[in-house]
Structure 1
């Protein structure tokens, strides 16, 4: 199952792997602005002789075609950064862009897949099938995967595999369990309209601030009192925009939040309940309510066969001790859209090391990775593809 030539290639290119990651880290580009990152990926693939095509407006799809006919397995890496200010100013490879940072590890994912592609390309004469390489933009905007699917990323693909660096896990550890991995991630926006007026004359008004506050307090019972406790769900209100001045009764209030869960039945129930709560709270005060519920990413549900296959590959490549069981996260991942097209799985590779200060939460300005994890991720990409095509 494990190809020794690939293992040796990854080890040989470990220094280059780190250099690639550091270059990408220092030059972050946010969702749908990854022009330079896309150009860099294209140049790297061209130098390897791997055929590719750019997707619109950013992103790359490439193929490592084996000498023998066989199945097609897709490997995905996301390439975008976040609008986060880098706080690790002392790093020699710190972000050069104010207010932009690779605070989630996508720089590592891209570098790992490039080196995995290099190792696989060197063994393509032995490869029975095709490895599809997907360098995806705009994961942080939860729109990139869907667009890549539209542009043909999954055409002819039999299985798909993705990796996420994970700072909450020890370096080198690999977690890929069957079933739920990442939650669906939806956006909810509620607009209340009351009747504004002078702060000294509330009896002549309908105070949108009171309406909105009542809704925020009551809507939490959607989760705590209407959903089976054994079905995890989160409803978070993260933003309230109410009022214009200290002595003016607010006429309008806009509330924004997010809903996370692992199954679409629960998802639909929460959506319906939010609409009912908003309407009924508004009616109590004589206001009106308008609800906009935007479905974002689907839950990432690892195919049982594929997830167990990842475990076999990981233990074969790195030993049984590498396996780790990480609980499902309420975080969102648009890798889910690839799983709508083909069976597959999404693995976590640990990069948390207290001695290197790499246990900061993803999306934090001090987020960084233990670069010793890069080779683990790159080899896991390549060995999974090799093993799947040779199965």
Structure 2
């Protein structure tokens, strides 16, 4: 089923693929600041003669029109970096921007899709249908995919496919299971207001530090005691700001956290329970509570037919031994906004190699990609499009 010309073409451009990834890695741009990356992608597509348009304020949507009629499949790569300090300073392609780094592999995704586009474009006369290319900004802020959808990224699209480089999997292994893959990712903020005062006179105060601490300790029972244990969920408090001085009892406390799950009903339940817990903890101490709950990305739920097609393509292109059963992660991915519109799937391509020190967690300052995985990812993009349009 796979196209041998695509395989050979990806291999032929292997050095260029690595060079593009290294260039992007050394020049990271944060969410909604990907102006130079957008220009680079646009210029590259222009050189290939691929029709495209820039989206606002950053991002690119392109189309490869096949020589035969057929469906349209979309391929998506994200482009933004993170506010993380690069610790691999010895690398010749280390970040040139202090406090900014491609610590999640989006540089690899963009490079892989560019080379896939180049090879598909060379085969376009034989393609039955069209390939939509989505170079997306702001995945890390969970706002880019939604904006791209609003700007027409999946209009007329029949199927959408995305890839994420994954350092927790061995290099060149591919995982794409039907069903839940990434969790929904929400943000909550709880603001408690008590009554401040002198640290030596606690009886005249309502201590926001005690209230916030009580909430943090008790809110974990939302998952452990109100959620079906067979339904995965996480409530994490990542930040608490309280108090101004060692001998001043705090009047205000602000807590920030995240909620992760795969099921919509569970998500609704946790949001409601956070409100109930905050209000009741505040009432116990005579304080007030305000809860702000922001829904981020939806859970990424792979369409069964699409996921099985990815597995078939990977097995045909790289051998059955390349298939890997990676379990769902509580990490978030705004690829879900595309899946809300059209069926599709999201695959993981392993890049973890202890010999190359590329097993560091995503978002860590020492994160790096085993570049041997780039060819695998690029070919998977291209072969999936080819097989989907020809099936």
Tell me the TM-score range normalised by the shorter chain.
Answer: over 0.9
Q: Deviation per CA, 1:146-198, whole angstroms, max 9, x where unpaired?
A: 00000000100000000000000000000000000000000010000001111
The equivalent of 1:271 in structure 2 is 271
The equivalent of 1:44 in structure 2 is 44
Counterparts of 1:283-362 in structure 2, within 5 Å, are 283-362=283-362
Partner of 2:365, secondary structure, is coil
CA distance in 1, matches of 2:143, 2:336: 11
Q: Deviation per CA, 1:11-37, whole angstroms, max 9, x where unpaired?
A: 100010000000000000000000000
The equivalent of 1:376 in structure 2 is 376
CA distance in 2, matches of 1:357, 1:198: 52
Partner of 1:330, secondary structure, is coil
CA distance in 2, matches of 1:238, 1:8: 47
Counterparts of 1:1-391 in structure 2, within 5 Å, are 1-391=1-391
Shift of 1:97: 0.3
Structure 2's unaligned 5+ residue stretches are none
Shift of 1:132: 0.2
CA distance in 1, matches of 2:162, 2:60: 15
CA RMSD of aligned residues (A): 0.4
CA distance in 2, matches of 1:372, 1:211: 52
Q: Deviation per CA, 1:95-122, whole angstroms, max 9, x where unpaired?
A: 0000000000000000000000000000
CA distance in 1, matches of 2:339, 2:198: 54
Q: TM-score, normalised by structure 1?
A: 1.00
CA distance in 2, matches of 1:259, 1:370: 31
Q: TM-score, normalised by structure 2?
A: 1.00
Please identify runs of 4+ aligned residues in structure 1 that moved more than 4 A. none
CA distance in 2, matches of 1:115, 1:5: 14
Structure 1's unaligned 5+ residue stretches are none
Partner of 2:331, secondary structure, is strand
CA distance in 1, matches of 2:26, 2:34: 13
CA distance in 2, matches of 1:74, 1:210: 51
Q: After alignment, is 342-351 or 194-203 more displaced?
A: 194-203
CA distance in 2, matches of 1:170, 1:328: 16
Shift of 1:336: 0.2
Shift of 1:69: 1.2
